[in-house]
Structure 1
Amino acid sequence: MTLPRTNTFSGLSLILDRLAERRDELDWVAEQAADVDARYILLDSLGETYLLPGRDALRWLSAEERKLLADTPASFLGHAQDRPHFLLTVDDADLALELETQLGAIRLSLREAGLLLPADEAGLFAYAKGLAHWQRETRFCAYCGSPLQLVSSGHRAQCTNTVCGRMHFPRTDAAIIVIVEHEGACLLGRQAGWPPGRYSTLAGFIEPGESLEDAVRREVAEESGVIVGEVHYHSSQPWPMPASLMVGFTAKAIDPTIRLRDRELEDARWFTPEQIVDGLRHGSFGVPSKLSVSYQLLASWLRLRANLELDALIP
């Protein structure tokens, strides 16, 4: 099955069975790893992976090639296309470089590869990168400081202190991202370090004890001064850069007055579809990366409000 290209990295459940209930069955996992059809995605210490040059495809390691890293534990990702999939990480920079030559591959980051790869491979890369980041960052127990040991095929980490024995699980930082509208215009902002003319939807992290809808209202007010009323869910996107989940919303302003408060944004403006079209035509307006749910929020809004396709508008 080929995944639809909606939000990048999304839709993985259509082709992947994570088989989470079997991660603790060591003999079964070992059988999967020895399967001749097993394949392994390899990530270096920066979270970059290996691609086939000029092919826009992952350079998977076969079960036989897995012997190149025989001493490296593998994390079970699940079954896709009736094949077991695993993650391998290589922290040694010299070895990572050597493997490029051995595998006839190049290394790219998730940002670089996200739109080059087929949707299923982009999603698997994102999954592997998020898991590898958590493994690399979660080395010691947050309760007693003792070293942790990866268990459950790499999806849990257990404290080695028998008195403590706490279990640690992968964490995801939830963030909202929203396109706000008012009287036929949408609210977009820009940060100072962005390329000239680029604007994007507003976003921010969820705070403790806060609903997603309340986070939308707070973040929009904090960043732009605009007061939001109605909030509706749009879609979500895994964003393991390094460990986020972007939850997309649409919202309506009840007070559209822009008052930049904390200077997180260099500028914020209301844009009509006509202004966006003119800005794209003259090069004075830049859209967010197609990799992001922000792009999809803007594209969806333009389609709904003006029957315009953002892809067709970009030169």
Structure 2
Amino acid sequence: MPFEDSITFGSSGLERAAHLRMDPEAMARLVADPAARAIAFWRAKPAVSPEGLVKLPLDHPVLEAATEAPIFLGLDKAGPRFAYDLSGWQPVEEVGELDSFLDRSEQQHPDLPEGHLFKELRGVMTLLTRREAELAAAARQLLEWHRTHGFCSMCGVKSDQADAGWQRLCPSCGRRHFPRTDPVVIMLITRGNKVLVGRSPGWPERMYSLLAGFVEPGETLEGAVRREVYEEAGVRVGPVRYIASQPWPYPASLMMGCAGEAVSDAITVDPVEIEDARWMGREEMIDVFAGTHPEMREPRKGAIAHSLLSAWLRDEAR
């Protein structure tokens, strides 16, 4: 199958129907459609069940806790899809535990059936269908943008949600604000039969991944790859090519997977950027994916780093 089809949060072919967002009459018809369904979020965590993403009819009582109008996500074959933010609801108690890397707590809303829980998206992303993952990623990113961009950056007045949730409009100066996406390069850097991996401070024990970093203003993807690898690991990179991308809604990144050929071996770690970096041979990486390597565990499934490394092991990272 095409490489991009293996990417979590990749396009599932959802009809986003952007032409309907500015049409109030069309939106009213979609909201009234008996086939319309909502996905509910609580503080950036979607409601999920053992069957996948929970999809609620728009008249479900749990949605009464929403403080903002729903966001129109698009047209699924089964009907319109919307996202609701229920962050104003206060759970009686939390189940699970919190840590610095992943929120493992789960919340049970009294109006939802047993087992329908709000869970951290990173913990369930590989359990979702491609369509569910695309819906969840778009909803999470948009809801976080609304949460953090509620005031006009031109005049400071509180702005209003507009165009079915895809814009904010300032009632004072009329400025329109649009959701942002931050470009990030993630690099499969190889030299001969080895690949460069690194880890950030605070990551779980034995967790390594490919190096990554934000693209700076006025910079090409190729330039960002070479700069980030040199800044973090002191390794010079020659030819660079693009492979595939992944929306990464934590909170608003677009991970652009690139492959690069290193022209130097020596590693000089910048401790401000990363904690460690090392070259891993193909045989070592096979052990990593088999779960038998003593110093590195398999990269997190669902992340593009896992897909890139897996493709490299199969000699398909082209």
- Could you tell me which residue of structure 2 aligns to residue 94 of structure 1? 90
Conserved 8 A contact 1:178-1:201: yes
Shift of 1:305: 7.5
- Could you tell me which residue of structure 2 aligns to residue 229 of structure 1? 238
- The 1-side partners of 2:256 and 2:62 are apart by 40
- The 2-side partners of 1:231 and 1:33 are apart by 46
Superposition pairs of residues 30-49 of structure 1, within 5 angstroms? 30-44=28-42, 46-49=43-46
Conserved 8 A contact 2:67-2:88: no
Which stretches in structure 1 are left out of the alignment for 5+ residues?
A: 307-315
Conserved 8 A contact 1:40-1:66: no
Question: CA separation of 1:71/1:266 partners in 2, compared to 1, >3 Å: closer, same or farther?
Answer: closer
Runs of 4+ residues deviating >3 angstroms: 95-99
Shift of 1:66: 6.2
- Could you tell me which residue of structure 2 aligns to residue 75 of structure 1? 71
Question: CA separation of 1:236/1:258 partners in 2, compared to 1, >3 Å: closer, same or farther?
Answer: same
- Could you tell me which residue of structure 1 aligns to residue 191 of structure 2? 182
The TM-score with structure 1 as length reference comes to: 0.88
Question: CA separation of 1:34/1:212 partners in 2, compared to 1, >3 Å: closer, same or farther?
Answer: same
Question: CA separation of 1:67/1:239 partners in 2, compared to 1, >3 Å: closer, same or farther?
Answer: closer
**Given the alignment, which residue of 36, 53, 61 partners 1:58?**
53
Moved more, 29-38 or 70-79: 70-79
> 1:216 and 2:193 equivalent?
no
**Given the alignment, which residue of 205, 212, 228 partners 1:203?**
212
Question: CA separation of 1:38/1:217 partners in 2, compared to 1, >3 Å: closer, same or farther?
Answer: same
Counterpart amino acid of residue 138 in structure 1:
H
Shift of 1:264: 2.0
- Could you tell me which residue of structure 2 aligns to residue 150 of structure 1? 161
Counterpart amino acid of residue 125 in structure 2:
G
CA RMSD of aligned residues (A): 2.1
- Could you tell me which residue of structure 2 aligns to residue 85 of structure 1? 81
Which stretches in structure 2 are left out of the alignment for 5+ residues?
A: 94-106
- The 1-side partners of 2:250 and 2:39 are apart by 18
Aligned residues: 296
Conserved 8 A contact 1:18-1:77: yes
> 1:113 and 2:110 equivalent?
no
Moved more, 235-244 or 251-260: 251-260
Conserved 8 A contact 1:72-1:89: yes
The TM-score with structure 2 as length reference comes to: 0.87
Instruction: Indicate the SS of the match to 1:145.
Output: coil
Shift of 1:287: 2.4
Moved more, 207-216 or 66-75: 66-75
Shift of 1:87: 1.0
Q: Can you list the C-alpha shifts for 1:88-135, whole angstroms capped at 9, x where unaligned?
A: 111213279897221212111110120122221122111110111111
Conserved 8 A contact 1:75-1:86: yes
- The 2-side partners of 1:305 and 1:85 are apart by 35
- The 2-side partners of 1:148 and 1:290 are apart by 38
Conserved 8 A contact 1:35-1:63: no
Superposition pairs of residues 219-258 of structure 1, within 5 angstroms? 219-258=228-267
Counterpart amino acid of residue 58 in structure 2:
A
Question: CA separation of 1:219/1:282 partners in 2, compared to 1, >3 Å: closer, same or farther?
Answer: closer
Counterpart amino acid of residue 268 in structure 1:
A
- The 1-side partners of 2:82 and 2:204 are apart by 38
Q: Sequence identity of aligned pairs in percent?
A: 38
Q: Can you list the C-alpha shifts for 1:251-310, whole angstroms capped at 9, x where unaligned?
A: 00112221113442222111111122345424432122112101111111111089xxxx
Counterpart amino acid of residue 148 in structure 1:
S
